[in-house]
C-alpha cells in the first residue's frame, strides 16, 4: 500500500512560547527572510549576500577578522569544524571546563586524538583566570578551548586576558559563544582569542541550523598549513603544507575559507535559506544596536531573577558570573519539577527548561533570549509559574513575582 500523504496535515505547530535555554522563537522577520526565493551558489547576488554576512557578523563578534562567516549546521558543527581544523592527533589541548558544554569539547577532542588536559570549576562557578594561567603553565597546550556561556549551568566565563595568556605561551585559543552571541558582549579582538563560534537559535533569535564563526589570521595560517589531502591542495591550486592533515572534509575550515574567499572554490552548497536567516538575524541585532540589545537581555535576566526570588525560590549559581539570558532556579523541595513543566506547557503554552547531569531534577532553566527577551514574555512566564506552583500546593506569597519583575526591569 503506498503511503497516503494526506494522512499527515500541513505543518501547523502549536504557538509555544519558548522560555527555556534555547531554542527560542525566531523573530518573524527571520522567518520571512527564509521564505525568499533561492539562488545558485555562484550567482553574484548570492556571493554578494555571503560578503554581506561576513561584514554583518564582524561587529557582532567584536572583531576585524577577515574570516568571519557561517558554518552550515547547528552550533555544534562550528565547534567541531574549529577543533578538527585546529588540532592534530597528539596535540595537547587545555579545556576550561565548568559544565556540560566543556565536556562536549573534551568529547570532540578525544575523537580527534588530542591529549586533553582540563582546568575545572564546580557546576555553578567559573574558572578564575589565575587558575587558567597556572594550567597553561603546567600543561603547555597548543590550544586552549573554552565555553563563554554554558547554558547547562547558566554561568558565563570571564574571558578578558585569556588571549594574552595563550599568546605568551604560544597557544591558540577557541571559544564556544553559542549561548551568548547577540545577548552578552562578544569581544573576540579584545579577549584576543583566535576562533569564536555561535549559533542562531539562542540570543540571535533565529532557528538552529547555521553557525557563525570568526577566525583570526594566526589561526587561519595554522589551518591553511594543514590542508586535508593532496587532492585538496591541488583543488586549491596551492603549495603543499606541512604537518598532519585535517581529518574531516565537511568541517575542513581551509576548504570552507576558500569557498568564502574571492576564489569561491566549491566545497558544499551553501545553505541558502539559512544564510538568509543568519543575515536577517544580524541585521536585526545591529539595527537594535549591540549595547541596547545587551541591556535588554540584562533587564530580562534581572526581572526574571527578581520575580523568582519574590516567589521565595532560590536562584542557582554565583550571582557575579550568572548569564543574563538564562536563569537557573532550584526546584523547591516536595515539588515535582516535570509536573510543573508539563502544566506550564499544557495550560500556558510556555516551555521552560529542565537540566542535565548533576543538576538533573535539581533546577529548572528559564531563558529570555533574542526575540523572547521581552518584558511581557518574562512577566507572562513568571505569572504562569506562580499559578502552577500554587496549584501544585507550594506555599508562596501570591502576586509578588510579577510586581517585583516589573520593578526590576526598570
Ligand atoms: C545551546 C548550545 C550549543 C548547542 O549546539 P547545537 O548544535 O546548536 O545544538 C552549543 N554550545 C553551547 C554553549 C550552547 O549553549
For residue 226, how far is the Cα from the chain centroid?
Answer: 27
- pTM for the whole thing? 0.96
pLDDT for residue 108: 98
Give the nearest ligand 1 atom to 201 CA.
Answer: 8
Per-residue confidence (pLDDT) for residue 405, from 0 to 100 = 98
> Which residues contact ligand 1 via a Cβ below 6 A?
22, 74-76, 101, 147, 150-151, 176, 178-179, 199, 208
Pocket test for ligand 1, best of 20, 78, 101 (most atoms within 8 A of CB): 101
pLDDT, residue 6, reads 87
Nearest atom of ligand 1 to the alpha carbon of 149: 13
pLDDT at residue 307, as a whole number: 98
Q: What is the pLDDT at residue 233?
A: 64
Nearest residue to 93 (alpha-carbon basis) of 122, 113, 120? 113
Whether the Cβ atoms of residue 31 and residue 370 lie closer than 8 Å to each other: no
* Strand intervals (E) in 98-250: 115-120, 143-147, 149-150, 155-156, 172-176, 195-197, 210-215
Residue minimizing CA distance to atom 15 of ligand 1: 179
Position 390 scores a pLDDT of 98
Which of 21, 75, 100 for mutating ligand 1's site (highest number of atoms within 8 Å of CB)?
75
Distance 79 CA to ligand 1 centre (A): 9
Peptide bond into 23 cis (omega under 30): yes
Instruction: Using the atom order of ligand 1, give the atom closest to the CA of residue 150.
Output: 13
* Residue whose C-alpha is closest to residue 184's, from 293, 55, 278: 293
| Distance in Å, CA 295 to ligand 1 centroid | 23
What is the 330 CA–ligand 1 centroid distance (Å)? 22
Most distant pair of Cα atoms in the chain: their distance: 71
365 is in an annotated binding site: yes
Structural domains in the chain? 28-285 (3.40.640.10), 290-409 (3.90.1150.10)
Indicate which atom in ligand 1 lies nearest the CA of residue 22. 1
The residue whose grid cell reads 526546584 is 331
pLDDT by residue for the chain (410 residues), tens only, comes to 789 888 999 999 999 999 999 999 999 999 999 999 999 999 999 999 999 999 999 999 999 999 999 999 999 999 999 999 999 999 999 999 999 999 999 999 999 999 999 999 999 999 999 999 999 999 999 999 999 999 999 999 999 999 999 999 999 999 999 999 999 999 999 999 999 999 999 999 999 999 999 999 999 999 998 875 666 666 666 665 555 689 999 999 999 999 999 999 989 999 999 999 999 999 999 999 999 999 999 999 999 999 999 999 999 999 999 999 999 999 999 999 999 999 999 999 999 999 999 999 999 999 999 999 999 999 999 999 999 999 999 999 999 999 999 999 98
Instruction: Quote the ligand 1 centre to 179 CA distance (angstroms).
Output: 7
Amino acid at each position: 500500500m503506498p503511503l497516503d500523504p494526506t494522512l499527515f496535515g500541513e505543518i501547523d505547530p502549536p504557538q509555544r512560547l519558548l522560555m527555556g535555554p534555547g531554542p527560542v522563537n525566531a523573530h518573524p522577520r527571520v522567518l520571512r527572510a527564509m521564505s525568499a526565493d533561492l539562488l545558485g551558489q555562484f550567482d553574484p547576488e548570492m556571493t554578494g549576500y555571503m560578503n554581506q554576512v561576513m561584514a554583518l557578523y564582524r561587529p557582532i563578534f567584536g572583531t576585524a577578522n577577515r574570516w568571519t562567516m557561517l558554518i552550515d549546521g547547528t552550533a555544534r558543527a562550528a565547534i567541531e569544524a574549529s577543533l578538527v581544523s585546529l588540532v592534530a592527533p597528539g596535540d595537547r589541548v587545555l579545556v576550561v571546563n565548568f559544565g556540560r558544554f566543556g565536556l562536549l569539547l573534551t568529547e570532540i577532542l578525544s575523537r580527534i586524538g588530542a591529549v586533553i588536559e582540563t582546568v575545572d570549576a564546580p557546576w555553578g562557578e567559573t574558572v578564575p583566570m589565575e587558575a587558567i594561567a597556572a594550567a597553561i603553565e603546567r600543561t603547555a597546550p597548543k590550544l586552549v578551548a573554552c565555553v563563554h556561556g554554558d547554558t547547562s549551568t547558566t554561568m558565563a566565563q570571564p574571558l578578558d586576558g585569556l588571549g594574552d595568556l595563550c599568546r605568551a605561551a604560544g597557544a591558540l585559543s577557541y571559544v564556544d559563544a553559542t549561548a551568548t552571541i547577540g545577548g552578552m558582549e562578544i569581544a573576540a579582538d579584545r579577549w584576543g582569542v583566535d576562533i569564536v563560534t555561535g549559533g542562531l537559535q539562542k540570543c540571535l533569535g533565529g532557528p538552529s541550523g547555521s553557525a557563525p564563526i570568526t577566525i583570526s589570521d594566526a589561526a587561519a595560517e595554522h589551518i591553511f598549513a594543514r590542508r586535508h589531502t593532496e587532492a585538496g591542495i591541488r583543488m586549491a591550486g596551492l603549495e603543499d603544507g606541512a604537518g598532519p592533515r585535517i581529518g574531516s572534509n565537511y568541517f575542513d575550515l581551509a576548504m570552507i575559507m576558500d569557498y568564502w574567499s574571492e576564489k569561491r572554490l566549491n566545497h558544499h552548497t551553501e545553505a541558502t535559506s539559512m544564510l538568509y536567516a543568519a543575515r536577517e538575524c544580524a541585521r536585526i541585532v545591529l539595527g537594535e544596536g549591540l549595547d541596547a540589545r545587551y541591556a535588554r537581555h540584562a533587564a530580562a535576566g534581572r526581572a526574571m531573577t527578581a520575580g523568582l526570588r519574590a516567589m521565595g525560590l532560590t536562584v542557582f549559581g554565583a550571582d557575579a558570573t550568572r548569564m543574563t539570558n538564562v536563569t537557573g532556579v532550584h526546584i523547591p523541595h516536595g515539588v515535582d519539577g516535570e509536573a510543573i513543566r508539563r502544566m506550564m506547557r499544557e495550560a500556558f503554552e510556555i516551555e521552560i527548561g529542565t537540566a542535565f547531569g548533576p543538576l538533573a531534577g535539581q533546577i529548572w532553566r528559564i531563558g529570555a533570549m533574542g526575540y523572547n527577551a521581552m518584558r511581557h514574555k518574562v512577566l507572562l512566564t513568571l505569572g504562569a509559574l506562580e499559578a502552577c506552583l500554587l496549584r501544585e500546593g507550594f506555599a508562596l506569597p501570591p502576586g509578588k513575582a510579577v510586581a517585583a519583575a516589573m520593578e526590576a526591569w526598570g
